[in-house]
Structures are given as C-alpha cells and as structure tokens.
C-alpha cells in the first residue's frame, strides 16, 4: 500500500498528465479553453477570479519553496526552523485563506447566477469538489499537520519534501512520506488525483498560460497555405446546432 501510494501513484499521475495533455492537444484543441463565464456575470468574477488565481500563484510558489528547497540549505543560510515555520504558516495560511475565499466566491457565483450554473457541467462539479478538497486539506495540513497524533513534532520538510525530491531521482523515499501525518498524506493523494485530472477538465487552461504574448509581434500574418496544412484535428460533430434545439433546453 505504501509503495502503491507513494511509489507508483505519483508516476501514474505524471503519465496521465503528460499523456492527457498530448491527447487533448491532438484531438480536442478546440475544446481547450478557459470556458469563461464572464459574459454572463462580470461584477463578482472581477473580484473573485483574481483573488483566487493570485492566491493560487502564491500557493504554488510556496509549494515550490517548501518542497524543492532542502532544509539543509535554509539551515546553512542561517534561517532558523522557527522563523521558517512562522513564514510558511503565516504566508501559506494567508495565501490559503485567499484561495478558499476566492474559490468559495466563485462557487457561490456559479451556483447563484442561473446562466453560469446552467453552463456548469458534471465534469466541472466533480472538479470543483476535488479542488475544494485539495485546498481545504492543504490549509488544514498547514495549520494542524505539525504534530503527529501521538503529539510528536512533525516537520513536513523532513518527510513530504524529502519524498517529493526523491521522486525526481526515480528512487522514491516511500518511508519518508509514510512517516508524515495523515493530513499531509490525504492532501497529497487527492492533489495527485486533481493533477491527473487536469487534462480532462477545464483546468487544462493553466497549461496555455500565454507568457509568449510578452514577446510576439502585435500583428500576425499567416498564409492561407500554412493554415490549410495544419488542419483542425478536432473531431467532427454537430457544429451547426440551431437555436432552440435540445442543446438549448434546460438540462
């Protein structure tokens, strides 16, 4: 079980993520979008969405630091464990709270705006549930995961982080992860599920973050020839669904 969860699942997740992204790009480039609902409702979104996304970026940054920077390094530069922990707790806690707030606002908006709710698929609902679980457990782990049930000190930088870094050398330190508290373990497992699901949900838009916009020329000329050669690989379907078909009826 230990090996399955901490030795196999991470690699399966990576496989699903990479394979899924390639598959999606190949066969559903047309479906690869943010699926924005701003046209329906803008006021709440303009607050909730940046709160959520910027918090998410902060949380992501925190994870990179917490997982990738070894404890020996922070010890070496003279950052005491106490100070580090305080920074992680308050910084991470704040970002986590922002994330929860943003997500709650977004979900509330989605439920309360009829047009937005109608555009919400089952896929979205499941994704939101998993996402909320991951966020909730992550915050919970940050706040309470510092102590094992027996009351002993637990430092995730000596368990989770060690395990995470060992994944890159294909020598997963299964025992290190198994030694962490259940809060962290649950957070990791569900987060892996979420990551594996990215290519198959609307979260896929994260992988088209348009950083190249900073560098491309403003005006894009493209030859008809070039376009024809790269035809859309998206599956043919009912493109011309007319108005008033079941497509438009209340689900």
Partner 1 sequence: MATKPRRVMAQVAMVMNLDKCIGCHTCSVTCKQAWTNRAGTEYVWFNNVETRPGQGYPRSYEDQDKWQGGWVRTRSGRLKLRSGGRFKKLISIFASPVQPEISDYYEPWTYDYENLVQAPLGDDFPVARPKSLITGDDLQIKASANWDDALGGVGATAESDPILRKLRDEANLQIKLEYEKTFMFYVPRICEHCLNPSCMASCPSGAIYKRAEDGIVLVDQDKCRGWRQCITGCPYKKIYFNHRSGKAEKCTFCYPRLEVGLPTVCSETCVGRLRYIGIILYDADRVTEAALADDKDLYEAQLELMLDPNDPQVIADAQANDVPTDWIRAAQRSPVYALIKHFKVALPLHPEYRTMPMVWYVPPLSPVVDLLKAQGHDSEAGGNLFGAIDSLRIPLEYLAELFSAGDVEVVRGVLQKLAAMRSYMRDVTLGRDRQPELARAVGMEPAAMEQMYRLLAIAKYEDRYVIPKAHREQAHNLEEMGCSLDFEGGPGSGGEGPFGSSSGRVVPVAIESYADAKARQRDESGA
Shortest distance, position 123 Cβ to partner 1, whole Å: 6
Contact with partner 1 (CB under 8 A): which of 40, 104, 107, 167?
40
d(CA 208, CA 79) in angstroms, rounded, equals 36
Longest Cα pair distance anywhere in the chain, in angstroms?
69
Which of 115, 126, 129, 143 touches partner 1 (CB under 8 A)? 115
3 state SS of 209: coil
Kindly state the smallest distance separating residue 69's Cβ from partner 1, in Å: 26
Q: How far is CA 14 from the centre of its chain?
A: 13
Nearest approach in angstroms of CB 30 to partner 1 is 6
Determine if 63 is a binding residue for partner 1 (CB under 8 A): no
**Rounded to the nearest whole angstrom, what is the least distance from the CB of residue 104 to partner 1 in the complex?**
16
In angstroms, give the least distance from the CB of 243 to partner 1. Answer: 6
Alpha-carbon distances of 87 from 93, 101, 234, rounded to whole Å: 9, 21, 47
Nearest residue (CB) to partner 1, 119 versus 178: 119
Burial level of 55, CB count in 10 A (0-12/13-18/19+)? buried
Mark residues 124-153: x for contact with partner 1 by CB under 8 A, - for none.
x-----------------------------
- 224: contact with partner 1 by CB under 8 A: yes
Q: Note whether 34 binds partner 1 by CB under 8 A.
A: yes
Provide the mask over 42-61, with x wherever binding to partner 1 is found by CB under 8 A and - wherever it is not: x--xxxxxx-xxx-------
Burial class (CB in 10 A: 0-12, 13-18, 19+), 174: middle
Q: Which is nearer to partner 1, 15 or 115 (CB)?
A: 115
Tokens, residue 143: 């706040």
Q: Residue 52 in contact with residue 223, Cβ under 8 Å?
A: no
């Amino acid at each position: 079980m230990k090996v399955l969860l901490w030795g196999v699942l991470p690699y399966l997740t990576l496989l699903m993520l990479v394979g899924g992204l390639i598959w999606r790009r190949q066969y559903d480039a047309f479906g690869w979008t943010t699926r924005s609902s701003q046209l329906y409702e803008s006021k709440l979104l303009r607050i909730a969405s940046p709160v959520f996304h910027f918090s998410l970026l902060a949380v992501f940054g925190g994870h990179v630091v917490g997982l990738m920077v070894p404890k020996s390094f922070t010890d070496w530069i003279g950052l005491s464990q106490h100070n580090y922990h305080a920074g992680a707790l308050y910084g991470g806690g704040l970002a986590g709270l922002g994330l929860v707030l943003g997500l709650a606002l977004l979900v509330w908006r989605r439920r309360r705006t009829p047009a937005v709710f109608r555009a919400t698929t089952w896929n979205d609902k499941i994704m939101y549930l998993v996402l909320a679980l991951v966020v909730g457990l992550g915050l919970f782990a940050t706040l309470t995961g510092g102590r094992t049930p027996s009351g002993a000190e637990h430092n995730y930088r000596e368990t989770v982080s060690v395990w995470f870094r060992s994944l890159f050398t294909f020598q997963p330190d299964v025992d290190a992860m198994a030694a962490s508290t259940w809060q962290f373990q649950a957070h990791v497992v569900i987060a892996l599920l979420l990551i594996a699901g990215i290519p198959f949900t609307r979260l896929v838009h994260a992988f088209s973050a348009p950083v190249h916009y900073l560098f491309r020329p403003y005006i894009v000329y493209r030859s008809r020839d070039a376009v024809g050669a790269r035809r859309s690989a998206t599956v043919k379907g009912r493109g011309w669904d007319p108005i008033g078909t079941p497509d438009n009826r209340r689900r």
